[in-house]
Structure 1
Amino acid sequence: MRQVLLTRRQRIFYHRWQCIEIRELNRLGCLKGMVVHMAGFFGLFDYSKPGPGVQKNASKKKSFVIFFEILARKFWKLISVNLLFALFSLPVLTVGLANTGLSYVTRNFAREKHAFIGGDFIDTIKKNWKQGLVVGIINLLFTVVAVFAVVFYFQVDDIIGYIALALMLSIILIFTFMKYYMYMMLVTFKLSIKQLYKNSLIFAFAGFGRNLLLFFIFGLFYILAALILYMDLVIGILVVTFMYILLFPAFRMLLIQFTVFPLIKKHMIDPYYKEHPNEDKDAKRALNIFDDEEDDDEEKVFEDTLPTEDEEPKTTFPRQYSEEEMRRLRRKHRRKDEDDDGTI
């Protein structure tokens, strides 16, 4: 269990209360013992008693509950990273880079890990710009070809045209499922472009149920957008554009990360650490997938044990760094070990 230290001021206050070292009470020796016994008798202000704590086998929250809790906590940060995504997507050809940065930040949010919106977004693009650019262009070309193919086969009024149209729609569906996994694997693993698409194709079928669920959820949003456009074209364009720039891509990517990660963990991460239990612990920590036993073995940063009456408080909370100081520290550590990028 992660533990917490009292600050020096709180410790001193605790000592003074526990030992009745307040000047006025020290003058009245008879009150010294009485107050201590009253604290124990009524159970008030008796900080030496252990609290209820958290049960080890406490029931876990449902996944959708955790998702909406994360969405509520990170709402304004999602808006911030979505604005960055919209900005980097403006040249169109760089949409793959924008998805790379967005995927890393939302992956950390989904795994309940901290992420610097601007710093991590840009750093991830710098580290993966080649693959991100290539994947983005390939996906863009596929989309253009698929749209032209659907329009063409839709106009062919015979059995061959219907079969070709159905086949093309099936390919588009599978490729859409593949894209749910591409950027997640791109920022998490060291894979070639070929391996990236091969694994994405495997997951498109291995996680067919959850992929279909995501497709259905996003489809509802697209239908809603189409209805708004149908009701009033001008207002609809403004509303849809506003929601796209403000939130939707980040929300979409967060939901994807939250949904597909268990499958990736089961088929890629767990087998790797089963064969290499002592390797890439930094990456394991970055993904927040330590087991309870491993978590107990980690160095404890904070401690909730209270000092004895004769013990002086030795430590306090570590000083809090500003975001700018944290950026400088991150750059300093990055220069020391450029290869340690949190990938497996």
Structure 2
Amino acid sequence: MGLISNMFNYSKPGPGVDKEERQKRRFFLFFELFFRKFWKLIQLNLLYVLFWIPPLIAGTLLTPYNATLAYLAFFLVGTFVAGPATAGAVYILRNFATQTPVFLLSDFFQQFKANYKQSALAFLFNSLALFACYASYLFYGEYMDMGFLNYVFKAMVLIMALLVLFETFHTFLMIVTVDLKLKDIFKNCFLFAILNLVRNFCSLLFAVGFLWLEYKFFPLS
């Protein structure tokens, strides 16, 4: 009787999933989700690209006059459209990754509105920070002649640029995930940029490698 009752006792916990097996499966989960959500990803990218058209137009119109002004116009216009759109896109991607049901259009625009202020300010801060790193690198390379110190300052600028870049990997994900003030989000993201240095480097190398393959096999000209 005990054996039979145990067979039909559905409240009894099962053996579960082995820890090593679960971790091993996660290794392939990225590609599994990529192919499963392939057409949804295409739709999301087409929607996301639309919000980059205004900053591209602004930057293109000003490029013949001043490259620096064109860069600033590109990111200033992008602050008001591409920044919040990034929050919407990241929210959709996060739900794809966690396999949480999501409605692409409605959830995208809901997150666009709900996180508009924080995502716009985050986009503006990151853009200006990267521009400051770029300008500083040029300054120490072309306008300052301090010998060996030039290389020291340029190395420091490159490190700061990498930290800002790694911080952007986490910013919008945290904006759509947790309810924190923007300064606390930046603080946490910079901590993640430092503490997850190896993972951030791997993510950067993966992105660069993917772009290189795209350029190699699907050139624009």
Output the TM-score relative to the length of structure 1.
0.48
Q: Cα distance, 1:210 vs. partner? A: 1.1
2:192 equivalent to 1:217: no
Provide the residue aligned with 1:146 in structure 2: 133
Alpha-carbon contact 2:130-2:164 (below 8 Å) kept:
no
Residue 194 of structure 1 is matched in structure 2 by: 183
Instruction: Tell whether the 8 Å contact from 2:87 to 2:112 is kept in structure 1 after alignment.
Output: yes
* Residue 57 in structure 1 maps to residue 17 in structure 2: yes
* 1:98 pairs with 2:98: no
Structure 2 segments unaligned to the other structure (5+ residues): 1-13, 55-77
Higher RCO, Cα 8 Å, sep 6+: 1
Is the CA contact 1:99–1:183 (under 8 Å) kept in the aligned structure 2? yes
Q: Does 1:130 align with 2:90?
A: no
- Residue type of the alignment partner of 2:134: V
Shift of 1:90: 2.3
Name the CA distance, whole Å, in 2 between partners of 1:57 and 1:139.
Answer: 41
SS at match of 1:62: helix
Match of 2:220 in 1: 237
Which moved further from structure 2: 190-199 or 92-101? 92-101
Contact 1:88 1:97 in 2 (8 A): no
Specify the SS of the correspondent of 1:140. Answer: helix
1:178 to 167, 170, 188: 167
Report the secondary structure of 1:236's partner residue. Answer: coil
Question: Structure 1 stretches of 5 or more lacking a match?
Answer: 1-53, 229-234, 239-344
AA paired with 1:236? P
Residues matched between the structures, number:
179
**What amino acid is the match of 1:65?**
F
Matches of 1:163 and 1:175, distance apart in 2: 19
Question: What is the aligned-residue identity percentage?
Answer: 31
From 172, 194, 213, give the equivalent of 1:205.
Answer: 194
Structure 1: which amino acid aligns with 2:189? Answer: S
Q: Which has the higher helix share?
A: 2
Contact 1:178–1:200 at 8 Å: present in 2 too? yes
**Distance in 2 separating the partners of 1:206 and 1:135:** 21
Cα distance, 1:227 vs structure 2: 5.6
SS of 1:86's equivalent in the other structure is helix
Amino acid at match of 2:195: A
Paired position in structure 2 for 1:167: 156
- CA 1:199–1:144: 2 relative to 1, 3 Å: same
State the Cα deviation string for residues 236-292 of structure 1 (Å, max 9, x = none). Answer: 336xxxxxxxxxxxxxxxxxxxxxxxxxxxxxxxxxxxxxxxxxxxxxxxxxxxxxx
1:15 aligns to what? none
Q: Matches of residues 301-312 of structure 1 in structure 2 within 5 Å?
A: none
- Aligned in 2, Cα 1:177/1:161: closer, same or farther, shift over 3 Å? same
The alignment's C-alpha RMSD in Å is 2.1
Contact 2:115 2:176 in 1 (8 A): yes
Q: Structure 2-normalised TM-score?
A: 0.74
Gap change, CA 1:154 and 1:221, over 3 Å in 2? farther
Describe the superposition over 1:207-236 as per-residue Cα deviations: whole angstroms up to 9, x where unpaired: 1221111111112234446667xxxxxx83
Alpha-carbon distance between aligned partners in 2 of 1:165 and 1:112, rounded to the nearest angstrom: 43
Structure 2 equivalent of residue 19 of structure 1: none
Contact 1:104/1:187 (<8 A) preserved = yes
Supply the distance in 2 between the matched residues of 1:131 and 1:220 (Cα, whole angstroms): 31
- The code of the aligned residue for 2:125 comes to I
Distance between the aligned counterparts of 1:154 and 1:64, measured in 2? 43
Q: Secondary structure at the match of 2:51?
A: helix
Q: Distance in 2 between matches of 1:144 and 1:90?
A: 20
State the AA in 2 paired with 1:181.
Answer: H
**Matched residue SS, 1:84:** helix
Q: What amino acid is the match of 1:76?
A: W
1:111-126 to 2 correspondence within 5 Å? 111-126=98-113
Q: CA deviation at 1:112?
A: 0.8
1:80 deviates by 0.6
- When residues 118 and 152 of structure 1 are mapped into structure 2, their CA distance, relative to the original with a 3 A threshold, is same
